[in-house]
Amino acid sequence: MVLALLKRDLALATRAGGGFGLAVAFFLILCALVPFGVGPDTGALRPIGPGILWVGALLACLLSLDRIFALDHEDGSMDLLATAPIPLEGVVAVKALAHWITSGLPLIVAAPVFGLLLHLPGAATPWLIASLLVGTPALSMLGAFGAAITVGLRRGGLLLSLLVLPLYIPTLIFGTEVVRRGAEGGDPATPMLFLAGITAGVIALVPFAAAAALRVNLR
């Protein structure tokens, strides 16, 4: 049941235009535009590179959040999922995982290449990959919570962004700090532990909150 739901959501995400290429294309455009705005000077780009990469990943994850539950709500599948053998909390977790696979995972693969556009030091690349690998699941799970609250609302995409962006700030802060310390030769262990703690807490708690929001919207 869980694997079938995951395969279905991956197929829907790809067909609906929220597939593997959309987030990467947005990420590339952002990383390519920053040198035009700031200038190609290495001294100007290198200090802001970690922040730009993490902001780009965060915004790229926002692109397809409104479709996590919208398609199921439109075709009536959400009512069936609410009565399925798998708990609604499990449905939320599976849909967040599908979003991470189609949005977060491609960003992790592409981030080292895009880091070259911002003159990110080679020593920071492993920490960039590690921070995105640890932090982006929290972005998808928090996005699922926002999507559960706004499902069924007209023009809910803007409201979803307003709800989710403040929740993304701790992940953004510690993710950027990991990469910055890695670039400067410091010890990124402390911000990495905070980042992992945030992700673990989000994965443990948010599915219950999102499921409760879905039950309210289904009444």
Model's pTM, two decimal places?
Answer: 0.89
How does pLDDT run along the chain (219 residues), one tens digit per residue?
Answer: 678 778 877 777 676 555 567 888 888 898 888 888 887 777 778 888 889 999 998 998 888 787 788 777 777 777 777 777 788 888 899 999 988 998 889 899 989 888 888 888 888 999 999 999 999 999 999 999 998 888 877 666 778 888 899 999 999 999 999 999 998 888 999 999 999 999 999 999 999 999 998 888 777
* Angle, helix 105-117 to helix 42-62, in steps of 10 degrees: 160
Domain edges within the chain = 2-218
Q: How far is CA 54 from CA 8, 103, 141, 147, in A?
A: 29, 14, 17, 21
- The span from the CA of 141 to the CA of 146, in Å, is 9
Residue in 107, 104, 68, 14 with CA at minimum distance from that of residue 207: 68
Q: How many CA atoms lie within 13 A of 158 on its CB side?
A: 2
